[in-house]
C-alpha cells in the first residue's frame, strides 16, 4: 500500500518553485545565487476597478457613446480627466473619478483599473536558480536539513534558530521571551495563549516553530506578521521526536521558515529549511513510499499520536482495532520499545 | 442454470472518491448480472501523485489480485474488450467526487425565484456558492467585478427570465461577468452555464461567450414563474463538472476516455439511480439515499416523478470538518456521544482529522467522536435537504421527515460503523425516519456506480439490486408519538412464514427488535397506543408485510423529533443501551 510521506531529513537536496500569483517580471537568471530575502520577481496589480457607463451618463446609445469616448485602452489618466463629452448646447461630460489605467472600452462603457499595488516575490530559501519560469518566477535548489509541518500561517522569513524547548512537550510562555531573542526564529513547543504570540510579535521574532497550537488561536496566528509553522497538529501535542532532534541539534544555524498554507492538491506544505555546506549534491527526498518492514513512521491518530516508530510487521488481511473497526494494519515498534498495532491509513512515513 | 437474459458483457466501474478509489467488477453469473468483487486504493488526486488515474490503476491492480484475472496490460493500460484468455473487461464507467470544492457564483433576477432555482441547481453538485448577483444586489457593477476578480470562481451559473420574459435586466447582470472574465488570465476564467430565458442565447454568447473557459446552455430552469425544471440543467452541469475536473486534476481525461466519455460526478450518478428507483417502486412514499463521506453529504430523494439532489460539502467529514462549527456547536455534537468527552478534546479532534481525512478511529474514544460528528453532520444535511423537498409529499407531520421506503445509506461514515447496528443507530438518530421503512446499507457504495452503469446497460442495475449486494438492515417501525418515558406506545405481533409468532410491547424511549432473517418475510400487526402513528393514523392499528434483514424488525420508540435527555449521564447510558440493543457494545 502506498504511504504518505512527511519529510524530516538531516541532509537532502531541496528544489522549490516560487511563483507570483499573477503575471509579472522575473528578476533573476539561471545559475544565479540567491538569499532568502532577495526579490526574484515582481508584479503590479490593480486592487479596484471603476466602470464608467458613458452611454447612460450622456443619455445616448452605446454606439454613439463609443464614438464620443476620447480615451483608449492602456491610457493612464489622472483623476478629473474628461473622457467623453455629449452633444448639444449644454453638453454633459464624463470625467475620471480617480487616477487609473484604461483596460477596456466598448459598449458605451469605459473600464479602468485603479489603486495599483506592487507585489514582490522573495526567494524564500538560499540557493541557486535552476530554472526561470517566464513572467511567473523561478525554481531554486539548495541543500540542507528539511522539516515539514502540518499548518502554516502563510508567511516566510529567515533567521538564527534558537531553541527554547527543554523537551518535546515544552510550552511557549511569555516569560521565556526576552529582548535577546529579537530577530531569531524560535523552536518553541506548544502554544496555548494569544499573549505568547503577541509577545513574540513585539520583540519582534522572525518566526516560530511550534509543535502544536490551540484551534482557538489560529485566527490570531494568521494575523501575525512573522511565519508560524506547526509540526504536529492542534491542541496540546508534543513535538515528534524526529523533528525535535533535527531542529534542536541545528540550533544557532540560519533557518528559513516558509509557513505556506497546507494545500493537499498542490502539495504546498509549511517547512523549515536549514542550509548546510555540502561537497556534492545529496539525494532528493523520496516523495512516494510503499509501506514495508523497517520504515520509520509517525502515528497520525490516537493512541500514540505523534509518536515515531518503525514497522516490524505488516499484518495479513484485516486486523481488528481497539475501536472495533477492521483495517489493514502493521505492528509498529515505538521509541519506548512498546510494539503497537496501528492501521496503515493512520501512519505516515518519516524520511 | 437459468438461461442468460443478457449478452454477457462484463463492466468495470471505478469510483474516484475524496479519500479512496474503488474498482468494482460486475459480470454475468448464472445468467444474471452480479456484483463480483471490488478493489480499493487511496485516491491520488493530491500531491505528490496529482494524478487520479494512478489511484484507479492501483484499485484495479488490487481487484486483479482478488479476482485472479488480468485487467491491466504491461503498460498499466486497461484491457478492453475482454479477451479469449479471460483478461480484460467489456466496458468501463467512472464516477468522480474527488477534487477541491468548485467555487461558484450564481446569477439570477429575483431572489425568491430564479436566484433560488440557481441555488438549487448549483447545490446538486460539488460546489460552494461564493457570491450571488441578482437584482437585489446593491453593489455597483465595478464592485461586482472586483468581487469576481478576488474570488476567481471556477463556475458561473446564470438563470433568470421566464421564456420570452425579461431580457434587459439579465443583460445588465451579465456585464460584470463578461468584464471580470476579460480581466482574468485565460487559464483562470470560469466556465459559464446559462439556464435562463432561452431567447437570450445569442446575447449571452456575445457578452461572455469569448471570455469564458467554456459556455454551456441548458433549457430554462424557470420556464415560467410557477414552474421549475432543474433536471436538464443538472445533466449539463454534471458534464461541466467533469470538464472542470479535467482542468484541475491530471488523469481525469484519461479515465473519461477509458469510459468512452461516460464519466459522471458521483452525486449525479446517485441521483440518477434514485430517480430510476422512484419510478420502479412508484410508491406513495419517497425513496431516500444518503451518503456521508469525506467530500460531503449527498442527499438524493425521489418522490413519484419528482426528485431532489443535494450535495453539501459543508457537512463532509474530511478537510472541511472545522467549518462544521459554522453550522453547529461542540456541545450539540457531543449530545450524540456515548462517552464523556470534553468540548476541547472534540475541537482538537475536528481540526486534527481535517489534516488527515483518510485516517480511521483506532480507539473507542476516537470512534465515539467520529460517530457523534457523523450523526450531527448527517442530521444537519437532512434538515438542509428537507427544505428543498417538493410540497405535498407523503408525511405523518409536515415538520418531520417525510415517509420513505426504502432508505439507502452509504459513504465512509457508515464504513466507520463497526457493526450494522452502529450504522443503523447513526441513521435513526440523524435521519429520524417515521412510520415503517426498510433500511438498506450500501456497504460497497454501489449505488452511484449502478447509476453510472445504467447509461451503458439498463439491465445491470436492476439485476444487481435484486441480487443481495446491498445489506438490508431490516424493517424499522418508528411511531410518531409524545409520551412519558417508559409508557407503552405500541404493541406489535410478527407472524413468521413458518407459523410462529413473536410479540413486542414498545415503551417510549426504548428500542426493541424482533428477529427476521434476511430473505425472510412476515406479517406485522401493529396497534398504536397513546395516539402513536406509524402511518395508519393516530392510535390506529394495521397489518403490513415486512421483510427481514441483519437486525430483523426494529422498533424505535424514542419519538419524533428525537429529543435526547438533558442529563448527560442518563443520556450516555441510554445511548449505550440503544447501541447494545442493536448489537453494539
Cβ <8 Å between A48 and B100: no
A2-38+123-275 classified as CATH 3.50.30: yes
Nearest residue, CB atoms, A325 vs list B47, B99, B367: B367
Q: What is the pLDDT of residue A288?
A: 86
Distance, in Å, from the CA atom of A114 to the CA atom of A46, rounded to the nearest integer, reads: 6
- A25 Cβ under 8 Å from any chain B Cβ: no
Q: What is the pLDDT of residue B556?
A: 97
> Residue A84: which pLDDT band, with cuts at 50, 70 and 90?
very high
Q: How far is CA B131 from CA B108, B111, B119, B155, in A?
A: 11, 13, 11, 11
CA distance to partner chain B, nearest, from residue A287 (Å): 6
Distance, in Å, from the CA atom of B443 to the CA atom of B212, rounded to the nearest integer, reads: 41
Q: Which residues contact B329 (CB under 8 A, 6 or more apart)?
A: none
Interstrand relation of A93-95 and A76-77 (parallel, antiparallel or unpaired): unpaired
Distance, in Å, from the CA atom of B583 to the CA atom of B211, rounded to the nearest integer, reads: 59
Nearest residue, CB atoms, A322 vs list B145, B352, B364: B364
**B126 and B232 in one domain?**
yes
* Single pTM value for the model: 0.92
Cβ <8 Å between B365 and A302: yes
How is residue B308 written as a grid cell? 431532489
- What number is the average pLDDT over the span A308-329? 94
- Do the Cβ atoms of B320 and B314 come closer than 8 Å? yes
* Cis amide bond preceding B74, omega within 30: no
CA distance to partner chain A, nearest, from residue B21 (Å): 13
pLDDT at B417 over 70: no
- What number is the average pLDDT over the span B141-161? 93
Domain presence at residue B513: no
Cβ <8 Å between B364 and A323: yes
**Residue B351 DSSP SS3:** helix
Domain presence at residue B488: no
Q: Tell me whether residue A162 is exposed, middle or buried, using C-beta atoms within 10 angstroms of its C-beta: 0 to 12, 13 to 18, 19 or more.
A: middle
Q: Quick: pLDDT tens for A250-303.
A: 999 999 999 999 998 888 999 999 999 988 889 999 988 999 999 999 999 999
In Å, the largest CA–CA distance within chain B is 77
Question: Quick one: closest CA in A to B318, which residue?
Answer: A264
Select the CATH number that applies to the domain covering A291-350 from these four: 2.30.30.30, 1.25.40.10, 3.30.499.10, 3.40.1480.10: 2.30.30.30
CA distance to partner chain B, nearest, from residue A52 (Å): 9
Cα-flanking dihedrals φ and ψ of residue B351, to 5°? -70, -40
How is residue A214 written as a grid cell? 490551540
**B469 and B369 in one domain?**
yes
Count of domains forming chain B: 3
- What number is the average pLDDT over the span B452-471? 86
pLDDT at A344 over 50: yes
Q: Quick: pLDDT tens for A223-244.
A: 999 999 999 999 999 999 999 9
Q: What is the pLDDT of residue B4?
A: 37
Which residues in chain A are closer than 8 Å to B352, comparing Cβ atoms?
233-235, 301, 305
Q: Quick: pLDDT tens for B551-563.
A: 999 999 999 999 9
Distance, in Å, from the CA atom of B199 to the CA atom of B160, rounded to the nearest integer, reads: 11
Distance, in Å, from the CA atom of B532 to the CA atom of A92, rounded to the nearest integer, reads: 76
Q: What is the pLDDT of residue B304?
A: 81
Cβ <8 Å between B367 and A103: no
Cβ <8 Å between B355 and A150: yes
Which residues in chain B are closer than 8 Å to A345, comparing Cβ atoms?
42, 358-360
Distance, in Å, from the CA atom of A125 to the CA atom of B23, rounded to the nearest integer, reads: 42
**B343 and B282 in one domain?**
yes
- Mean pLDDT, chain A, integer: 94
Distance, in Å, from the CA atom of A232 to the CA atom of B375, rounded to the nearest integer, reads: 28
Distance, in Å, from the CA atom of A237 to the CA atom of A71, rounded to the nearest integer, reads: 61
Cα-flanking dihedrals φ and ψ of residue B175, to 5°? -55, -50
Distance, in Å, from the CA atom of B199 to the CA atom of B202, rounded to the nearest integer, reads: 8
Give A 107-126 residues with CB within 8 A of chain B.
Answer: 107, 109, 111, 113
Nearest residue, CB atoms, A345 vs list B46, B183, B360: B360
Domain presence at residue B239: yes
CA distance to partner chain B, nearest, from residue A112 (Å): 9
pLDDT at B241 over 80: yes
CA distance to partner chain B, nearest, from residue A326 (Å): 8
Domain presence at residue B158: yes
Domain boundary among B73, B96, B119: B96
Domain that holds residue B305: 267-482+555-581
Q: What is the pLDDT of residue A37?
A: 87
| Helix axis angle, B114-122 to B231-248, nearest 10° | 50
**B283 and B209 in one domain?**
no
Which residues in chain B are closer than 8 Å to A268, comparing Cβ atoms?
47
- Mean pLDDT, chain B, integer: 92
> Residue B42: which pLDDT band, with cuts at 50, 70 and 90?
confident
Give A 153-212 residues with CB within 8 A of chain B.
Answer: none
DSSP H/E element including B568:
helix B568-581
Task: Tell me what ipTM this predicted complex has.
Answer: 0.91
**B239 and B273 in one domain?**
no
Domain presence at residue B206: yes
Which residues in chain A are closer than 8 Å to B353, comparing Cβ atoms?
301
Q: What is the pLDDT of residue B444?
A: 87
CA distance to partner chain B, nearest, from residue A345 (Å): 5
> Residue B8: which pLDDT band, with cuts at 50, 70 and 90?
low
Name which residue leads in pLDDT, B465 or A169: A169
Name which residue leads in pLDDT, B226 or A130: A130
- What number is the average pLDDT over the span B245-270? 95
- What number is the average pLDDT over the span B261-265? 93
- What number is the average pLDDT over the span B526-539? 94
- Do the Cβ atoms of A118 and A135 come closer than 8 Å? no
Task: Count how many Cα atoms sit within 13 Å of the Cα of residue B308 in the half-sphere of its side chain.
Answer: 23
Q: Tell me whether residue B5 is exposed, middle or buried, using C-beta atoms within 10 angstroms of its C-beta: 0 to 12, 13 to 18, 19 or more.
A: exposed
**B79 and B108 in one domain?**
no
Cβ <8 Å between B185 and A48: no
Q: What is the pLDDT of residue A1?
A: 79
**B323 and B182 in one domain?**
no
pLDDT at B416 over 80: no
Domain boundary among B96, B122, B148: B96
Domain boundary among B96, B130, B159: B96
pLDDT at A54 over 80: yes
**B222 and B150 in one domain?**
yes
Q: What is the pLDDT of residue B166?
A: 66
Question: Quick one: closest CA in B to A342, which residue?
Answer: B362
Q: Quick: pLDDT tens for A141-162.
A: 999 999 999 999 999 999 999 9
How is residue A237 written as a grid cell? 501535542
Q: What is the pLDDT of residue B5?
A: 38
**B575 and B451 in one domain?**
yes
Question: Quick one: closest CA in A to B351, which residue?
Answer: A234
Sign (positive or negative) of CA dihedral A309, A313, A315, A320: negative
Name which residue leads in pLDDT, B205 or A145: A145
Alpha-helix residue ranges (DSSP H) falling in chain A? 54-58, 62-68, 194-202, 218-223, 241-249
CA distance to partner chain B, nearest, from residue A213 (Å): 10
**Residue B572 DSSP SS3:** helix
Which residues in chain A are closer than 8 Å to B347, comparing Cβ atoms?
215-216, 234-235
C-beta contacts of B338-343 below 8 A and 24+ residues apart: B338/B368, B338/B572, B338/B575, B338/B576, B338/B579, B339/B364, B339/B365, B339/B368, B339/B572, B340/B568, B340/B572, B341/B365, B341/B368, B341/B369, B341/B372
CA distance to partner chain B, nearest, from residue A323 (Å): 4
**B394 and B313 in one domain?**
yes
- What number is the average pLDDT over the span B98-123? 93
pLDDT at B169 over 80: no
Select the CATH number that applies to the domain covering A46-117 from these four: 1.10.3210, 2.40.50, 3.90.1530, 1.25.40: 2.40.50
pLDDT at B1 over 50: no
- Range with the poorest average pLDDT among B159-173, B204-218, B464-478: B159-173
Nearest residue, CB atoms, A301 vs list B141, B366, B418: B366
Instruction: Calculate what percentage of chain B has a pLDDT beyond 70.
Output: 97
Domain boundary assignment for chain A: 2-38+123-275, 46-117, 291-350
Nearest residue, CB atoms, B359 vs list A322, A324, A345: A345
**B423 and B365 in one domain?**
yes
Residue whose C-alpha is closest to residue B513's, from B522, B504, B500, B525: B504
- Do the Cβ atoms of B211 and B192 come closer than 8 Å? no
Q: What is the pLDDT of residue B456?
A: 78
pLDDT at B205 over 90: no
**B317 and B184 in one domain?**
no
Q: What is the pLDDT of residue B419?
A: 80
How is residue B55 written as a grid cell? 489511484
Cβ <8 Å between A22 and B185: yes
What is the CATH number for B224? 3.40.50.360
A44-79 burial, b at 16+ Cβ within 10 Å, e below that, comes to ebbebbbbbbbbebbebeeeebbebbebeeebebee
Q: What is the pLDDT of residue B106?
A: 96
Amino acid at each position: 500500500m502506498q504511504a504518505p510521506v512527511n519529510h524530516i531529513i538531516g541532509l537532502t537536496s531541496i528544489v522549490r518553485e516560487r511563483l507570483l500569483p499573477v503575471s509579472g517580471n522575473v528578476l533573476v537568471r539561471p545559475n544565479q545565487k540567491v538569499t532568502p530575502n532577495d526579490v526574484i520577481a515582481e508584479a503590479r496589480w490593480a486592487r479596484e476597478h471603476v466602470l464608467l457607463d458613458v452611454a447612460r451618463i450622456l443619455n445616448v446609445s452605446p454606439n454613439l457613446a463609443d464614438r464620443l469616448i476620447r480615451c483608449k485602452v492602456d491610457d493612464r489618466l489622472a483623476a478629473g480627466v474628461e473622457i467623453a463629452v455629449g452633444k448639444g448646447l449644454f453638453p454633459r461630460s464624463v470625467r475620471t473619478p480617480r487616477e487609473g489605467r484604461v483596460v477596456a472600452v466598448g459598449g458605451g462603457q469605459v473600464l479602468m483599473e485603479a489603486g495599483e499595488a506592487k507585489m514582490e516575490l522573495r526567494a524564500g530559501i538560499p540557493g541557486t536558480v535552476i530554472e526561470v519560469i517566464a513572467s511567473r518566477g523561478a525554481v531554486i535548489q539548495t541543500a540542507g536539513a528539511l522539516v515539514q509541518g502540518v499548518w502554516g500561517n502563510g508567511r516566510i522569513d529567515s533567521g538564527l534558530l534558537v531553541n527554547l524547548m527543554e523537551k518535546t512537550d515544552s510550552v511557549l510562555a511569555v516569560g521565556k521571551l526576552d529582548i535577546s531573542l529579537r530577530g531569531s526564529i524560535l523552536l518553541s513547543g506548544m502554544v496555548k495563549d494569544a499573549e505568547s504570540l503577541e509577545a513574540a510579535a513585539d520583540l519582534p521574532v522572525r518566526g516560530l516553530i511550534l509543535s502544536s497550537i490551540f484551534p482557538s488561536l489560529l485566527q490570531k496566528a494568521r494575523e501575525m506578521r512573522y511565519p508560524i509553522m506547526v509540526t504536529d497538529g492542534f491542541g496540546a501535542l508534543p513535538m515528534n521526536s524526529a523533528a525535535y532532534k533535527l531542529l534542536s541539534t541545528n540550533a544557532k544555524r540560519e533557518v528559513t521558515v516558509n509557513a505556506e498554507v497546507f494545500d493537499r492538491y498542490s502539495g504546498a506544505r509549511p517547512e523549515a529549511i536549514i542550509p548546510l555546506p555540502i561537497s556534492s549534491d545529496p539525494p532528493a527526498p523520496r516523495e512516494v513510499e510503499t509501506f514495508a518492514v523497517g520504515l520509520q513512521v509517525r502515528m497520525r491518530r490516537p493512541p500514540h499520536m505523534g509518536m515515531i516508530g518503525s514497522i516490524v510487521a505488516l499484518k495479513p488481511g484485516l486486523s481488528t482495532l481497539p475501536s472495533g473497526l477492521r483495517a489493514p494494519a502493521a505492528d509498529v515498534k515505538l521509541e519506548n520499545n512498546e510494539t503497537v498495532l496501528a492501521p496503515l491509513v493512520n501512519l505516515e512515513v518519516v524520511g | 442454470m437459468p438461461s442468460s437474459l443478457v449478452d454477457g458483457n462484463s463492466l468495470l466501474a471505478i469510483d474516484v472518491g475524496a479519500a479512496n478509489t474503488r474498482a468494482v467488477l460486475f459480470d454475468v453469473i448464472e445468467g444474471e448480472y452480479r456484483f463480483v468483487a471490488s478493489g480499493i486504493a487511496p485516491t491520488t488526486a493530491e500531491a505528490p501523485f496529482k494524478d487520479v488515474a494512478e489511484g484507479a490503476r492501483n484499485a484495479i491492480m488490487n481487484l486483479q489480485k482478488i479476482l485472479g484475472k488480468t485487467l491491466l496490460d504491461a503498460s498499466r493500460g486497461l484491457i478492453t474488450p475482454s479477451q479469449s484468455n479471460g483478461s480484460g473487461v467489456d466496458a468501463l464507467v467512472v464516477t468522480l467526487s474527488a477534487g477541491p470544492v468548485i467555487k461558484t457564483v450564481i446569477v439570477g433576477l429575483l431572489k425568491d425565484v430564479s436566484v433560488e432555482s440557481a441555488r438549487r441547481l448549483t447545490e446538486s453538485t460539488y460546489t460552494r456558492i461564493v457570491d450571488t448577483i441578482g437584482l437585489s444586489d446593491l453593489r455597483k457593477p465595478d464592485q461586482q467585478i472586483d468581487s469576481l476578480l478576488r474570488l476567481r470562481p471556477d463556475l458561473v451559473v446564470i438563470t433568470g427570465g421566464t421564456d420570452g420574459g425579461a431580457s434587459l435586466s439579465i443583460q445588465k447582470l451579465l456585464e460584470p461577468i463578461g468584464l471580470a472574465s476579460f480581466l482574468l488570465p485565460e487559464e483562470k476564467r470560469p466556465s459559464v452555464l446559462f439556464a435562463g430565458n432561452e431567447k437570450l442565447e445569442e446575447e449571452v454568447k456575445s457578452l461572455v461567450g469569448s471570455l469564458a473557459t467554456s459556455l454551456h446552455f441548458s433549457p430554462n430552469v424557470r420556464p415560467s414563474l410557477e414552474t421549475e425544471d432543474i433536471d436538464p440543467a443538472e445533466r449539463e452541469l454534471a458534464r461541466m463538472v467533469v470538464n472542470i475536473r479535467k482542468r484541475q486534476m491530471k488523469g481525469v481525461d484519461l479515465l473519461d476516455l477509458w469510459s468512452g466519455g461516460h464519466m459522471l460526478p458521483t452525486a449525479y450518478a446517485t441521483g440518477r439511480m434514485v430517480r430510476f428507483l422512484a419510478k420502479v417502486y412508484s410508491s406513495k412514499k419517497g425513496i431516500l439515499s444518503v451518503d456521508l463521506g469525506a467530500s460531503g453529504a449527498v442527499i438524493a430523494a425521489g418522490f413519484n416523478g419528482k426528485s431532489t439532489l443535494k450535495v453539501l460539502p459543508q457537512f463532509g467529514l474530511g478537510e472541511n470538518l472545522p467549518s462544521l462549527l459554522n453550522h453547529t456547536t461542540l456541545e450539540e455534537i457531543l449530545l450524540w456521544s456515548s462517552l464523556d468527552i470534553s468540548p476541547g478534546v472534540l475541537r482538537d479532534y475536528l481540526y486534527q482529522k481535517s489534516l488527515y481525512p483518510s485516517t480511521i478511529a483506532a480507539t473507542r474514544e476516537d470512534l465515539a467522536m467520529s460517530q457523534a460528528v457523523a450523526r450531527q453532520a448527517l442530521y444537519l444535511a437532512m434538515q438542509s435537504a428537507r427544505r428543498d423537498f417538493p410540497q405535498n409529499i407523503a408525511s405523518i407531520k409536515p415538520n418531520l421527515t417525510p415517509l420513505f421506503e426504502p432508505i439507502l445509506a452509504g459513504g465512509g461514515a457508515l464504513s466507520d460503523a463497526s457493526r450494522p447496528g452502529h450504522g443503523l443507530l447513526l441513521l435513526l438518530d440523524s435521519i429520524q425516519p417515521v412510520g415503517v421503512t426498510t433500511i438498506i446499507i450500501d456497504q460497497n457504495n454501489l449505488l452511484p456506480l449502478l447509476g453510472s452503469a445504467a447509461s451503458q446497460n439498463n439491465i445491470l442495475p436492476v439485476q444487481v439490486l435484486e441480487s443481495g449486494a446491498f445489506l438490508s438492515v431490516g424493517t424499522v417501525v418508528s411511531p410518531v408519538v409524545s409520551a412519558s418515558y417508559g409508557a407503552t406506545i405500541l404493541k406489535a405481533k410478527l407472524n413468521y412464514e413458518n407459523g410462529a409468532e413473536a410479540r413486542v410491547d414498545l415503551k417510549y424511549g426504548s428500542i426493541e427488535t424482533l428477529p427476521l432473517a434476511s430473505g425472510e418475510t412476515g406479517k406485522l400487526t401493529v396497534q398504536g397506543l397513546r395516539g402513536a402513528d406509524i402511518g395508519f393514523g393516530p392510535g390506529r392499528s394495521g397489518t403490513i408485510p415486512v421483510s427481514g434483514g441483519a437486525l430483523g424488525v426494529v422498533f424505535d420508540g424514542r419519538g419524533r423529533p428525537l429529543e435526547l435527555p438533558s442529563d448527560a449521564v442518563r443520556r450516555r447510558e441510554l445511548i449505550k443501551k440503544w447501541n447494545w440493543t442493536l448489537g453494539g457494545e
